[in-house]
Amino acid sequence: MFDFEITVENIVMTGAFSEGLDLSVANQKLEGSKHNWKQLSGLSFKLKKPSATFLLFQNGKFICTNIKTKTKGNQALTKLLNLLKTENLVSNNCTFECCVKNLVASVNLSSANISPEQFTNEFESIYDPNKCHTPLNKTDPPQAAFLVFLTGKLICTGAANKEEIKKTLKKFYNQLNEQNP
């Protein structure tokens, strides 16, 4: 039977404001913002409530992470936009569009017991114990990747929603059962 609890650990949303930002001015006005112009052309900003981390770009594009639901992400983006308006970093007419780009979820498959070496041989996985202690399994379609742990736990990334994770996980689990009847 296929019934596993999927726990969303992090959501990554991408999008854009309808206006660009002067990041130098934003860095001065947004308390807690950080930048390293030599390494990245964006400005990092952490919002405390609702908790979210943003990477802001001069052209108005952004990445929002450290959120657990799309609703919380939209709330954080609305609060950030209001802050940008209050600080006169964008006009009162500024809006934003965004979408979920990636979910990071954990899954418990404790009933599936398999060694990393066996897993790597039976599935087209990447496994280098000197770099990472767990195999990486990439799926297609939908595009997703699983880190597979000895405990039967998985970390899934690359899917845009829970349905994609379920679909990919079901396919993966069926393959696992075929290899280990």
- Whether the Cβ atoms of residue 55 and residue 68 lie closer than 8 Å to each other: no
Which pLDDT tens digit goes with each residue over 116-127? 555 555 556 665
d(CA 145, CA 139): 6
CATH fold, domain 109-179, is TATA-Binding Protein (3.30.310)
Range among 8-17, 111-120, 131-140 with highest mean pLDDT value:
8-17
Is the entire prediction scored with pTM above 0.85? no
CATH 3.30.310.10 boundaries in the chain: 13-100, 109-179
Three-class SS string for the chain?
Answer: CCCCCEEEEEEEEEEEECCCCCHHHHHHHCCCCEECCCCCCCEEEEECCCCEEEEECCCCEEEEEEECCHHHHHHHHHHHHHHHHHCCCCCCCCCEEEEEEEEEEEEECCCCCCCHHHHHHHCCEECCCCCCCCCEEEECCCCEEEEECCCCEEEEEEECCHHHHHHHHHHHHHHHHHHCC
Q: Which of 92-96, 139-143, 146-150 bottoms out in mean pLDDT, i.e. has the lowest?
A: 139-143
Q: What was the pLDDT predicted at 1? A: 44
Which CATH number describes the domain made up of 13-100?
Answer: 3.30.310.10
- Decide if 66 contacts 10 (C-beta within 8 A): yes
